[in-house]
Amino acid sequence: MQDDNNKLLDFDYDQSEMKPIIKVVGVGGGGGNAVETMFAGGSVKDVTFLLCNTDMQALRKSKVPNQLVLGPDITRGLGAGNRPERAQEAAESSREEIKEALTSDGTQMVFLTAGMGGGTGTGAAPVIGRIAMDAGLLTVGIITIPFLFEGRNKILQALRGVKEMRENVDALLVVNNERLRNIYQDLRLDNAFDKADETLTNAARGISDMITRPGRINLDFEDVKTTLKNGGVAIISTGYGEGENRMQKAIDEALNSPLLNNNNIYKARKVLINIYQSNEAPLITEELDPINEFTNKIETGFDNIWGLSTDDSLGQKVAVTVLASGFDLDTTTKSIQSSSSTDKDNNLINTLSSNNDDISRIKEENELISDYYGTDNLERKIFKPTLLKISELDDEDIIGIMEETPTLNRNNKPIEEVRSRKAANAGKFPGATGGNAMDTGSRNGRSESSPGNSYQTIKF
């Protein structure tokens, strides 16, 4: 009989008994809808799901079993009322419950999905992200920002939420809904938000498949952790190819994904590539040349990890998933680039203000918006009252400009050009005036020679 102390160790683990290490957390209405789609579709495998919301009624409608009401004593389960600060307070009051829900089952990685721009997702998701990070979990935010038609206020609220998220997760993937609309131009309005949910699902599935799907050259959780830990802004994209040059087609499709947000992937600092083939049509070595060409274009001294997995559902196709991180938020925005306009005053809405503080604030907001949405869609201007000298009130050149230019399109630049030209001419020809009025500023028989009265606000 064999001595009990010398028994051979049994390394034949039952894979079915291994607990998932990835948890997908949907926060608020938008994040909850995305998780609902993942849960119902079953396409994101070997993960657990959790819904967090301040709206108890929304949770009750969901079939996702694991749910957490945030701050019931604060919101009474009635939602955050589109107020991120209220949702933040609710999440802060539920810190212990959130930590328990995230860590009680062996979770090592959290996908945090949320729609930015509303109340709960914008306010609570950064709090949950910080709790997950403090608990030692690899935390990845996968968030959406609004369509342009959802309005300026929601967009600004969303972009402030993006900044908060960036500071409270290891890596952040931003899905710009407006880019979805540009890519899928025949998208019906009632399907637009479904497409956003689908895009979030693809991002989560792409990462989870890298970890959970066995491969000939295997990627694991530590590989993904190396790529995403303190990764900053990240992107993930999967492309498929079939027929001649199928690998190049797969790479091209991956690089045209809405998940890239026009980020320059060649500036990534960390890159993880997983290649999928089928037993029906396995890859040959020369088909990997496009992968080598792609990685050679990456500009930085980047860290590269790659894997090879089998997926027999592909048939004759191959697939390539690219996970890249290390982008800086300020240099990877501009999701919908402007190709022509350089006017810093481009605006999403009409704004009339003579207050310099307001104008400065609006310009800052416009620059933030244009970083993500470009300026081609933001062609209206910030408006300032036009200040004319008394001597300019009957200046035919200036009045002509103002009469010919509708108020909606008017700015002061053409008037300043006329003034500069007339000032230059006055220097060459002393005694010349800028218009037909006397320089003393006579108007209706009144003389206004005081410097303090030499300007008057004229609104047209």
For the purposes of burial, counting CB atoms within 10 Å of the CB of 147, is it exposed (0-12), middle (13-18) or buried (19 or more)? buried
Provide CB contacts within 8 A for 50, sequence distance 6+: 23, 24, 25, 26, 35, 64, 66, 67, 68, 101, 102
Is 33 among the annotated ligand-binding positions? yes
pLDDT on residue 450: 44
Residue 357 is assigned to a ligand binding site: no
pLDDT surpassing 90 at residue 403: no
Instruction: Find all residues with CB under 8 Å of 259, minimum gap 6, and list them.
Output: 173, 175, 199, 202, 203, 235, 236, 237
User: In 3D, which of 379, 322, 308 has the Cα closest to residue 348?
Assistant: 379
Stretch 351-375: mean pLDDT, rounded?
Answer: 72
Q: Is 315 assigned a ligand-binding role in the annotation? A: no
Q: Are 112 and 169 in contact (CB under 8 A)?
A: yes
Give the mean pLDDT of 163-191: 87
Q: With contact defined as beta carbons under 8 Å apart, do 237 and 260 qualify? A: yes
- Residue 151 is labelled as binding a ligand: no
Fold that domain 230-337 belongs to in CATH: Rossmann fold (3.40.50)
**Do the annotations mark residue 227 as ligand-binding?**
no
pLDDT mean over 202-208: 90
Instruction: Centre a 10 Å sphere on the Cβ of residue 249 and count the other Cβ atoms it contains.
Output: 19
Look at residue 453 in the predicted model and tell me its pLDDT.
46
CA 441, CA 448: separation in Å to the nearest integer? Answer: 5
- Same fold: 19-212 with 230-337: yes
Stretch 162-178: mean pLDDT, rounded? 93
Task: Judge whether 71 is annotated as a binding position.
Answer: no
For residues 251 and 239, what is the distance between their CA atoms, to the nearest angstrom? 6
* pLDDT score recorded for residue 116: 97
Task: Determine the pLDDT at residue 329.
Answer: 53
Q: Judge whether 129 is annotated as a binding position.
A: no
Q: Is 243 annotated as a binding residue?
A: no
The two structure tokens encoding residue 298: 């990456």
Q: What's the Rg (C-alpha) of the chain?
A: 29
What's the Cα-to-Cα distance from 60 to each of 27, 53, 65, 364, rounded to whole Å? 14, 11, 10, 41
Structure confidence at residue 375 (pLDDT): 66
Q: Which residue has the higher pLDDT, 98 or 201?
A: 98
Cα dihedral 374/145/175/214 (nearest 10): 160
* High-pLDDT (> 90) share of the chain, %: 46
Tell me, what's the pLDDT at 263?
63
Annotation: CATH topology of 19-212: Rossmann fold (3.40.50)
Q: Which residues pair with 215 in a beta bridge?
A: 309
Tell me the pLDDT tens digit for each residue of 282-331: 999 999 999 999 988 887 677 789 999 999 999 999 999 999 998 765 54
**pLDDT > 60? residue 4:** no
| Pick from 77, 150, 70: nearest CA to 118 | 150
Q: Where are the beta strands (DSSP E) in 196-243?
A: 215-217, 232-241
**Are the C-beta atoms of 405 and 412 separated by less than 8 Å?**
no
Distance (Å, rounded) from C-alpha 419 to C-alpha 396?
Answer: 12
Task: Give the residue with greater pLDDT, 348 vs 174.
Answer: 174
- What are 129's two structure tokens? 């992200």
- Token readout for 330 is 């300020």
Burial class from Cβ neighbours inside 10 Å (0-12, 13-18, 19+) for residue 329 reads middle
Mean pLDDT of the chain: 81
Q: What is the model's pLDDT at position 192?
A: 81
Annotated binding-site residue? 120 = yes
Domain boundaries of the chain, sorted by first residue: 19-212, 230-337, 344-384, 386-460
Residue with tokens 């218009």: 435
Rounded Cα distance, 202 and 221, in Å: 18
End-to-end CA distance of the chain: 104
How many CB atoms within 10 Å of residue 417? 12
H/E stretch holding 458 reads strand 455-458
